[in-house]
Amino acid sequence: MLMKSMLISEFIIERNLDRCIVCRACERQCGFDAHQYDPEDDVMVSIDENCVGCQRCSYICPTNAITIRRNPTELQPHAQWDANTIHNIMKQAETGGMLLAGMGNDRPYPIYWDHLLLNASQVTNPSIDPLREPMELRTYLGRKPDRVEIEETDGKPRLKTKLYPLVEIETPILFAAMSYGALSYNVCRSLAQAAQEFGTLFNTGEGGLHEKLYQYGDHAIVQVASGRFGVDEEYLNTGAIIEIKIGQGAKPGIGGHLPGEKVLADIARTRGIPEGTDALSPAPHHDIYSIEDLRQLIFALKEATDYRKPISVKIAAVHNVASIASGIVHAGADIVAIDGFRGATGAAPVVIRNNVGLPIELALAAVDQRLRDEGVRNNVSLIVSGSIRNSADVIKAIALGADAVYIGTAALIAIGCHLCQKCHTGKCSWGIATQDPYKTRRVNPEIATRRLVNLLQAWSREITDTLGGMGINSIESLKGNRLHLRGVGLNQVELDILGVKHAGESL
Partner 1 sequence: MKTLKTIKKDGFPSGCAFSGILNRRGELFSGTHILDSIAQMHDRSNGLGGGFAAYGIYPEYRDFYALHMLYENKESRDITENFLKKNFYIEIEERIPTRSTRAIYNPPILWRYFIKPMAHRVEEERGTEEDFMVKCVMEVNENIDGAYVISSGQNMGVFKGVGFPEDIGEFYRLDDYQAYLWIAHGRFPTNTPGWWGGAHPFGLLNWTIVHNGEVSSYGTNRRYLEMFNYRCTLQTDTEVIAYAIDLLLRKFGLPIELMCKVLAPPLWKNIDLLPPEDAEVLKTLRILYGDLLMNGPFSIILGFENGMVALNDRIKLRPLVAAEKGEFLYIASEESAISAICSQPDRIWYPKGGEPVIGYVEGNGRC
DSSP strand pairing (381-385 vs 279-281): unpaired
Calpha distance 185→441 (Å, rounded): 10
Q: Give min distance, CB of 405 to partner 1, in A.
A: 17
Using the minimum distance from each CB to partner 1, give the nearer residue, 238 or 312: 312
Measured over the CA atoms of residue 469, residue 474, residue 480 and residue 481, the dihedral's sign is negative
Q: Give min distance, CB of 147 to partner 1, in A.
A: 4
Using the minimum distance from each CB to partner 1, give the nearer residue, 158 or 212: 158
Q: Give min distance, CB of 148 to partner 1, in A.
A: 6
Contacting residues for 262 by C-beta, under 8 A, at least 6 apart: 181, 426, 435
Q: Give min distance, CB of 174 to partner 1, in A.
A: 18
Q: Give min distance, CB of 362 to partner 1, in A.
A: 18
Calpha distance 168→429 (Å, rounded): 36
Q: Give min distance, CB of 201 to partner 1, in A.
A: 17
Burial letters 165-197, b for 16+ CB under 10 A, else e: eebebebbbbbbbbbbbbbbbbbbbbbbbbbbe
Q: Give min distance, CB of 124 to partner 1, in A.
A: 4
DSSP run (H or E) holding 129: none
Q: Which residues bind partner 1 (CB under 8 A)?
A: 121, 123-126, 128, 133-134, 136, 138, 140, 144-150, 156-159, 163, 166, 372, 375, 377-378, 399, 470-474, 476-484, 506-507
Q: Give min distance, CB of 402 to partner 1, in A.
A: 13
What are the CA-CA distances from residue 51 to residues 68, 78, 436, 440, 457 (Å)? Answer: 9, 25, 19, 20, 34
User: Identity (one letter) of the amino acid at 265?
Assistant: A
Using the minimum distance from each CB to partner 1, give the nearer residue, 62 or 126: 126
Using the minimum distance from each CB to partner 1, give the nearer residue, 41 or 154: 154
Using the minimum distance from each CB to partner 1, give the nearer residue, 456 or 472: 472
DSSP at 253: T
Using an 8 Å Cβ cutoff, are 311 and 333 in contact?
yes
202: buried, middle or exposed (CB in 10 Å: 19+, 13-18, 0-12)? buried
Residue 423: which of 15, 101, 6 has the closest Cα? 101
Using the minimum distance from each CB to partner 1, give the nearer residue, 339 or 403: 403
DSSP at 174: E
Q: Give min distance, CB of 375 to partner 1, in A.
A: 5
Question: In the sheet where 501-502 sits, what is the strand order?
Answer: 116-118, 485-487, 501-502
Q: Give min distance, CB of 157 to partner 1, in A.
A: 5
Using the minimum distance from each CB to partner 1, give the nearer residue, 56 or 486: 486
Q: How many CB atoms lie within 10 A of CB 262?
A: 18
Using the minimum distance from each CB to partner 1, give the nearer residue, 54 or 400: 400
Measured over the CA atoms of residue 211, residue 217, residue 221 and residue 226, the dihedral's sign is positive
Using an 8 Å Cβ cutoff, are 303 and 297 in contact?
no
Using the minimum distance from each CB to partner 1, give the nearer residue, 19 or 160: 160
Using the minimum distance from each CB to partner 1, give the nearer residue, 289 or 307: 307
